[in-house]
C-alpha cells in the first residue's frame, strides 16, 4: 500500500473539516463547493482535484468514517482476544464520542437516511460473524432475523445517544450494551 503525500492528507482533512462544519450549520443542498473552499481557505480547483462534487465529498466522508469505525472494532477485537465482541464496545463508544460532530451532523442533516443505511450496513456486516445461533440462548432462531434485529437496535441506540448530546459517558453505554446483548443475543 503506497503512502499518501502529507500535503494531500492535509488538504483532504481541511476540506472534510470545513464540509462537516458547514453541514452542522446549514442544509446539505445549500452548501456549495465555493462555501467549502472559503471555509477551508483554499481554491475551488484544489477541491475538484480530490472530489468530483459535494456528493462525492459526502460519500467519501461517510466511507472514511465508517472505515475508521471498522478499524476501531477490529483493533478492539484483536486486543480483547477470546473475549471478542462483548468487551469491544468501550472503544467503539469512545470513537463515537471523538467523532461527535460528524455523527451528530449526519444524523440531523438531510442526508440522514443515506447515512443511516450505510451505517446500518456496516454494523450488520460486523455482526454476521459475531452472532451465535447455535448456543442455548438463540437455539432455533434464524440468523437472518437475529442479525437485523441486533443491528437495528445498536444503530438506534447510537443514534439516540448522539442526538441527545451523549447524556451518558461511553463507559456506561458500553456496559449496558454488553449486558443487553450478552443477556439476549450473543
3-state secondary structure of 174: helix
**CA 16, 17, 20, 26 torsion-angle sign:** negative
Between the CA of residue 109 and those of 43, 114, 127, what are the distances in Å? 26, 10, 27
Where are the domain boundaries for CATH 1.10.357 in the chain?
62-184
Task: Report, as an integer, the average pLDDT of 111-119.
Answer: 81
Where are the domain boundaries for CATH 1.10.10.60 in the chain?
1-51
Provide the pLDDT for residue 81: 47
Give the percent of the chain with pLDDT over 70: 84
Instruction: Please give the residue that has the higher pLDDT: either 65 or 182.
Output: 65
Contact in structure between 176 and 86 (CB atoms under 8 Å): no
What's 62-184's CATH class? mainly alpha
> pLDDT at residue 45 above 80?
yes
Kindly tell me the burial class for residue 76, based on how many C-beta atoms sit within 10 Å of its own C-beta (0-12, 13-18, 19 or more): buried
Task: Tell me the C-alpha distance between 156 and 58, whole Å.
Answer: 22
> pLDDT at residue 83 above 60?
no
Task: Report, as an integer, the average pLDDT of 128-151.
Answer: 79
Highest mean pLDDT among 3-12, 39-48, 81-90, 106-115: 39-48
Task: Report, as an integer, the average pLDDT of 100-116.
Answer: 81
Largest CA distance in the chain: 60
At 33, the pLDDT band (50, 70, 90 cuts) reads very high
At 113, the pLDDT band (50, 70, 90 cuts) reads confident
Contact in structure between 90 and 8 (CB atoms under 8 Å): no
> pLDDT at residue 135 above 70?
no
Q: What is the CATH number of domain 1-51?
A: 1.10.10.60
Task: Tell me the C-alpha distance between 133 and 140, whole Å.
Answer: 7
Task: Report, as an integer, the average pLDDT of 62-89.
Answer: 73
Task: Tell me the C-alpha distance between 116 and 165, whole Å.
Answer: 18
Task: Tell me the C-alpha distance between 124 and 46, whole Å.
Answer: 36
Contact in structure between 69 and 92 (CB atoms under 8 Å): yes
Provide the pLDDT for residue 154: 92
At 108, the pLDDT band (50, 70, 90 cuts) reads confident
Amino acid at each position: 500500500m503506497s503512502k499518501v503525500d502529507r500535503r494531500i492528507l492535509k488538504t483532504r482533512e481541511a476540506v472534510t473539516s470545513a464540509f462537516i462544519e458547514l453541514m452542522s450549520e446549514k442544509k446539505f443542498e445549500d452548501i456549495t463547493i465555493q462555501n467549502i473552499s472559503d471555509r477551508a481557505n483554499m481554491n475551488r480547483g484544489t477541491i475538484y482535484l480530490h472530489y468530483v462534487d459535494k456528493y462525492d465529498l459526502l460519500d467519501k466522508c461517510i466511507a472514511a468514517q465508517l472505515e475508521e469505525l471498522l478499524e476501531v472494532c477490529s483493533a478492539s477485537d484483536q486486543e480483547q482476544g477470546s473475549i471478542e465482541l462483548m468487551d469491544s464496545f468501550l472503544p467503539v463508544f469512545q470513537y463515537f464520542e471523538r467523532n461527535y460532530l460528524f455523527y451528530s451532523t449526519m444524523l440531523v442533516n438531510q442526508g440522514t437516511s443515506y447515512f443511516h443505511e450505510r451505517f446500518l450496513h456496516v454494523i450488520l456486516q460486523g455482526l454476521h460473524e459475531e452472532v451465535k445461533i447455535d448456543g442455548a440462548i438463540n437455539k432455533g432462531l434464524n440468523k437472518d432475523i437475529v442479525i437485523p434485529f441486533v443491528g437495528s437496535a445498536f444503530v438506534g441506540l447510537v443514534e439516540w445517544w448522539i442526538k441527545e448530546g451523549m447524556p451518558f459517558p461511553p463507559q456506561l453505554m458500553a456496559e449496558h450494551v454488553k449486558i443487553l446483548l450478552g443477556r439476549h443475543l450473543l
